[in-house]
Amino acid sequence: MIYLNDSKQLQLKRGNPDRVYIKSPEHLCLYREEYHDKTLAFFDEFDTRVFNNLMYVELDFSHLKSLTASAALVLFAKITRCQSCLPAGYFSFPDKIISMKLPDDKKIKGMFSSTGLWAAIKPGGQKKLDKLWSDWGNSYKTGNDPSRQFEEVISSLHRRVGVLPKRIVAALQESYLNIAHHAYEAFKKDPLFNDFMVGRWWQYAHLHPETGRLIIIIYDMGSGIPNTIRSIQGGVSDCSSIQYAMREGITRFNVQGRGKGFEDIKRPIDSNASAEYLLVCSGVGEVGYKGGQIVKEHSHGYSMGGTLLEWAFSGVKV
């Protein structure tokens, strides 16, 4: 077997030469700059090993010390894409393409099971993902048909949260529709584009039972806001493209009558006293929105590989 250490040098070990062992960073986090790029580099490393090198992978989380919400969602997305989009005929056991060594830290290991992450990423394929829909207590969901699945998404949130923050349903609906109609258009003519990915989104939703803090995150692996908005705006930074897209009346396709999408996406933050922030990450850009204005913008060194939207609320009553 092959072991991939922290310096990314390959060391041969005894066993199956087709399996690569990849160590997770100690902190999987997309909120703090010192962890952001290492986290995304780890995700891209095992993704590349599976799709480019056609190798079985074992992910070693034994030294993991922290795992934050957005990083956990992108981990879920990356692993399930590997499990569901393999080229036909290359792997004898496609559902076992990724194996995992769970954290030694009991608290972090417990998070894998208590939030539903392990049920979402354990070896398996489409049947495993379908079961997440019947497990309303699981924080993780994925789908690609908003017309059929949206009611289930909202029903699951109601059962877990109770009364939802104002305008969040419209924001989620707009987000899902944007993904279904636009996010993957650039890939659809690629003969290698897997049907599993058509309109695909991943969601994390969790209400902390003690603090009442509610986090809802949606992620897609589409073209990203900067790549699609540049046909209107021209070549500028990813942060500038995100902020341009967030302006009222702007749409990626400049079609009259559209462009209200981001207004709907921002409204939960403007309409709820409990709102903390809206975070928009796309390409290498990260933009934070609160109180009717941009409160944060940052360009990272590593691309998100799609778009991530995160709404945060505090003091939500179950």
Q: Indicate the pLDDT class of residue 11, thresholds 50, 70 and 90.
A: very low
Same domain, 244 and 109: no
pLDDT value at residue 94: 84
Which residues, listed in sequence order, are joined to residue 309 by a DSSP beta bridge? 218, 280
* Res. 255: pLDDT tops 70: no
pLDDT value at residue 249: 61
**For residue 124, which of 168, 94, 154, 102 has the smallest C-alpha distance?**
94
Same domain, 121 and 238: no
**For residue 281, which of 211, 224, 228 has the smallest C-alpha distance?**
224
Q: What is the share, in percent, of the chain residues with pLDDT greater than 90?
A: 67
Same domain, 299 and 163: yes
Across the range 98-123, mean pLDDT stands at 95
Across the range 111-121, mean pLDDT stands at 95
* Res. 58: pLDDT tops 90: yes
Give the residue with greater pLDDT, 248 vs 178: 178
Structural contact between residues 278 and 265, judged by C-beta atoms closer than 8 angstroms: yes
CATH of the domain at 195: 3.30.565.10
pLDDT value at residue 7: 33
Q: Indicate the pLDDT class of residue 260, thresholds 50, 70 and 90.
A: low
Q: Indicate the pLDDT class of residue 232, thresholds 50, 70 and 90.
A: confident
Same domain, 194 and 304: yes
Q: What is the pLDDT of residues 162-220, one digit of tens each?
A: 899 999 999 999 999 889 888 998 888 888 889 999 999 999 999 998 889 999 999 99
Lowest-pLDDT range of 147-151, 175-179, 257-261, 312-316: 257-261
Same domain, 305 and 290: yes
Average pLDDT over all residues of the chain = 88
Same domain, 185 and 94: no
* Res. 303: pLDDT tops 60: yes
Same domain, 262 and 130: no
State which of 81, 104, 134 marks the end of a domain: 134
Structural contact between residues 261 and 225, judged by C-beta atoms closer than 8 angstroms: no
Same domain, 35 and 148: no
pLDDT value at residue 251: 56
Q: Indicate the pLDDT class of residue 12, thresholds 50, 70 and 90.
A: very low
3-class SS string, 193-238: CCHHHCCCEEEEEEECCCCCCEEEEEEECCCCHHHHHHHHHCCCCH
Same domain, 187 and 317: yes
Q: Indicate the pLDDT class of residue 46, thresholds 50, 70 and 90.
A: very high
Same domain, 87 and 145: no
Q: Indicate the pLDDT class of residue 18, thresholds 50, 70 and 90.
A: low
Across the range 22-40, mean pLDDT stands at 97
State which of 104, 134, 164 marks the end of a domain: 134
* Res. 76: pLDDT tops 90: yes
- C-alpha–C-alpha distance, residues 228 and 263, integer Å: 18
State which of 134, 161, 185 marks the end of a domain: 134
Same domain, 218 and 241: yes
Give residues with Cβ within 8 angstroms of 26, minimum separation 6.
63, 64, 65, 66
Across the range 243-257, mean pLDDT stands at 62
Same domain, 89 and 172: no
* Res. 276: pLDDT tops 70: yes
Residue range(s) defining the domain that contains residue 10: 1-134
pLDDT value at residue 307: 97
Domain count, the chain: 2
* Res. 14: pLDDT tops 60: no
